[in-house]
Chain A
């Protein structure tokens, strides 16, 4: 334990503390910084700013910070909290003038083993770097970066990678040259962890460099990292390549970055190709229309036909975005002659992830291609995917129906849609059923009330008696959304009678579903329907022999109370609740009393 005097004394006033904190005197906080229990140390660290405020700026600088720097060997959880706190400490040490006092503890934190802690320390260092004056940046901050960059163990060098870009713009040209040199060294570090860190920060660093250095330095680093012996490094270079491409003038792209990017798109490791596919839209934006036409289209075709499903799925995900961003003059031709043939093959891919990735975007093509092409070329694909064996594929198609609706109207699909919906609605996996329920309101809106009443209404009612609670719950919520769409009158005619009919079901779970539906529907149906039709049923159920039903009656009354008028509450609801409040079951009593007090009927 450090011997600084403040540790055995309580500090002063506790400014800025809220009422909760006032139960927690500062002395205890400080005491607990040294407690054996991690949780207590953690609590205390999280209130570090309170401690600092109480100590005042000077003692924070001269006593608290040295103490923290000394005790940096602690549980990672505590260190993480500390690293985060110190990023917001500038004012607590006396403002920008003194912000460099925070560097020593953060420097130690930036060298610890645990990645999460280190990253947080770097994040805080980046934050406070902006609060340094240009002079302090050179006197205090930059030397820290250099120390980290030449540290023995890889952890400090990885941390250094994230700090170059924040200090580069505000230092003198000599220091800039040094920083570039350090970055270069780290890019060819012996340890792959460091090269990975450097590769992941290459794009960000390129952005703050002068263009001439981007061309002279960054390009060679990029080329080297993109042909690293480890694919984990190469794949990170891809992302950097995209950033670099946005910085260069169009005429330099072909010579400086395209050879490397082309090579990445054909890398022997699928991870690298996956990365290219994943970043394809960004890449497309960065290189502009000409290169897109000449290079990216064939590259994209290859990725869509890649031998690894992982890569195909990533590329399939980008189909819509890629097509959208094609140059307008040749968009349709490119899609029809180059992209669509690949897409057609993907519809019958052997891997379900690929198909489902495609299904999530394929509908978007219809807006790009227009009505005629959609009907002729895309519709058969949609229909094929609607019949896919994998439910996720079908779901993805159904969830994106709105795009097609705008272009050709949903009727074109409705014949195939219905069997697909029915099948999903009855899928053996409850998660699939749950997913299709969630699209019901959307479908209902697009298909119209007639189609709905005729074909889908019975499904929605069937879900109410599903054997999985989550489905019954979702079905209840679905009814509410349908009523919002179709109106109270529709509700009264079509669903309310069916819902209320379930109140006589021999299965108590189904009787309870009636109550849950009433809870959900009362507000959207309004006072009249609630009072006239629903309330009598609720009252009747207060005599149910199952206690669970009875206490749910109490809960329902509490829930629908606000919809009812006060007369009805006093004369009808109150007696029922009072009766329930004297029920022999403890839970029924409890919820009845709760309802009475919430509705202020006591």
Chain B
């Protein structure tokens, strides 16, 4: 219905104004005339065409395309075109063309990694509208003080919703445009950050679907870069409550590079967030998805690359427990990725400085995996790591080796039957009961009764 009305209106336009459609905006024309023409062209570009029907109204489509081209050209090349009255007209034309409810995905299980994205049918026009918008924002004539009346919060919100477009070409334009808007319209900055926050939170906790996460993160990467020091609590909150939880997303691989970049940016800004980051990543460490585990390890390496030694000490214990767990992963890519850390000179220097703490954490794993792993590459990598440790601190290494062997000897008879195991458990519990009696008799004699119960219970096993 709507498009029919448009078509009619458009026929009317053609009939009435063919003349000026064909008029070129020439540099030599009087300025007032150019403005008038520009304005009329903007108004006419508000007509929308049905691109799902690819043969409908070809002439009209071509005319609009040419007009848009001309507008782009003129904004890009001539100075003095963008006068105040044109702002509302330009923003209106842009809004009418780009703001639309994105259609449902053709493929409900759309997997951005596997499937071809659905491309926007109206791209021949849409691209030019985006191009015009971008030129408009980048023009030396552009005046933020005028634009902010039209590019307002509502406008930005709709712009952000478009980032969900499946069409990567559209998202690419949106990314550059939003970046310019953020750069030039200072009053919108906080609002844009807040809305991006909301999009991410919705993505993480509600829908798990949003096509533009990578693009938004890319913008954020440069925004974080510009944060003032000390970091505001709003920004820290964003890191801890949004960026870190983003790691839990199923589709992490699509935006992981951008996400890791943002995280590292935060660390470079303010080293005190390091512990939050590492503990956060450890908290969300993938349990079953090895592909994600490799990504996490990659991010950890990026982080360790820039970590301050004082911060490293604060996280080394939980971190290297996790790394040890990765080394013993039966998936060789995970083990391999973790072992590659020892090829990194800076990380190696950190390990060396803290050898007393780290070596005992990983030694058992290294020793065991070197004997058990199915993959030859892993075994030789481990061999190298062990060798490095030996060179680092041979005394500690020897101590650990001998105590490991002793431990292993002790472990040998532990292949208990279920029966004996429960008996041992008995002994352990009885021991506790002894302590229990000692402590409890001081406070409450009644407890003796239930200690008896426990003993009965253990006997019945």
Q: Is B245 interfacial (CB 8 A cutoff)?
A: yes
Q: Which residue of A lies closest to B158 (CB)?
A: A229
Residues B434-461 near A (CB distance < 8 A): 435-436, 439-440, 447, 449-451, 453-454, 457-458, 460-461
Residues A345-372 near B (CB distance < 8 A): none
B104 to A308, Cβ gap below 8 A?
Answer: yes
Q: How far is the CA of A231 from the CA of B101 in the complex (A)?
A: 9
Least Cβ–Cβ distance between A543 and chain B, in angstroms: 43
Q: Is A310 interfacial (CB 8 A cutoff)?
A: yes
With A13-B450, A27-B429, A113-B245 known as contacts, the answer to whether A269 contacts B436 (CB < 8 A) is no
Q: How far is the CA of A115 from the CA of B202 in the complex (A)?
A: 10
B435 to A270, Cβ gap below 8 A?
Answer: no
- Identify the stretch in A2-10, A86-94, A408-416 within 8 Å (CB) of chain B at 4 or more residues: A2-10
Q: How far is the CA of A9 from the CA of B429 in the complex (A)?
A: 9
Mask of A1-29 contacts with B, CB within 8 angstroms, 1/0: 00001001111111000000011011110
Q: Is A561 interfacial (CB 8 A cutoff)?
A: no
Q: Is B205 interfacial (CB 8 A cutoff)?
A: yes
Least Cβ–Cβ distance between B268 and chain A, in angstroms: 26
Least Cβ–Cβ distance between B343 and chain A, in angstroms: 29
State the majority secondary structure of interface residues on B. Answer: helix
Mask of B75-114 contacts with A, CB within 8 angstroms, 1/0: 0000000000000000000000000010110000000000
With A23-B461, A115-B206, A270-B101 known as contacts, the answer to whether A193 contacts B432 (CB < 8 A) is no
Chain A positions within 8 Å of B104 at CB level: 270, 308-310
Q: How far is the CA of A45 from the CA of B300 in the complex (A)?
A: 32
Chain B positions within 8 Å of A75 at CB level: 283
Q: Is A289 interfacial (CB 8 A cutoff)?
A: no
With contacts defined as CB atoms under 8 Å apart, how many contacts are there between chain A and chain B in the complex? 74
B429 to A10, Cβ gap below 8 A?
Answer: yes
Most buried by A among B157, B198, B205, B245: B205
Q: How far is the CA of A577 from the CA of B351 in the complex (A)?
A: 67
With A25-B454, A308-B103 known as contacts, the answer to whether A9 contacts B206 (CB < 8 A) is no
Q: Which residue of A lies closest to B455 (CB)?
A: A10
Category for how many chain A residues contact B:
20 to 34
Q: How far is the CA of A113 from the CA of B241 in the complex (A)?
A: 8
Residues B188-214 near A (CB distance < 8 A): 198, 201-202, 205-206
A25 to B425, Cβ gap below 8 A?
Answer: yes
Least Cβ–Cβ distance between A524 and chain B, in angstroms: 41
Q: Is B433 interfacial (CB 8 A cutoff)?
A: yes
In-complex Cβ contact of B458 among A25, A114, A192, A309 (8 A):
A25
A28 to B103, Cβ gap below 8 A?
Answer: no
Least Cβ–Cβ distance between B149 and chain A, in angstroms: 19
Chain B positions within 8 Å of A271 at CB level: 101
Q: How far is the CA of A231 from the CA of B457 in the complex (A)?
A: 60
A269 to B101, Cβ gap below 8 A?
Answer: yes
Q: Is A191 interfacial (CB 8 A cutoff)?
A: yes
A113 to B205, Cβ gap below 8 A?
Answer: yes
Q: How far is the CA of A113 from the CA of B201 in the complex (A)?
A: 9
Q: Which residue of B lies closest to A17 (CB)?
A: B457
Seen from chain B, the residues whose Cβ lies within 8 Å of a Cβ on chain A are: 101, 103-104, 154, 157, 198, 201-202, 205-206, 241, 245, 283, 422, 425, 429, 432-433, 435-436, 439-440, 447, 449-451, 453-454, 457-458, 460-461
Seen from chain A, the residues whose Cβ lies within 8 Å of a Cβ on chain B are: 5, 8-14, 22-23, 25-28, 75, 113-115, 153-154, 191-193, 196, 229, 231-232, 268-271, 308-310
With A12-B451, A28-B429, A154-B201 known, 7 other A-B pairs at CB within 8 A are A12-B454, A22-B460, A23-B422, A25-B457, A113-B241, A192-B202, A193-B198
Per CB-CB distance, the 3 closest pairs between chain A and chain B, nearest first, are A12-B450, A13-B453, A269-B101
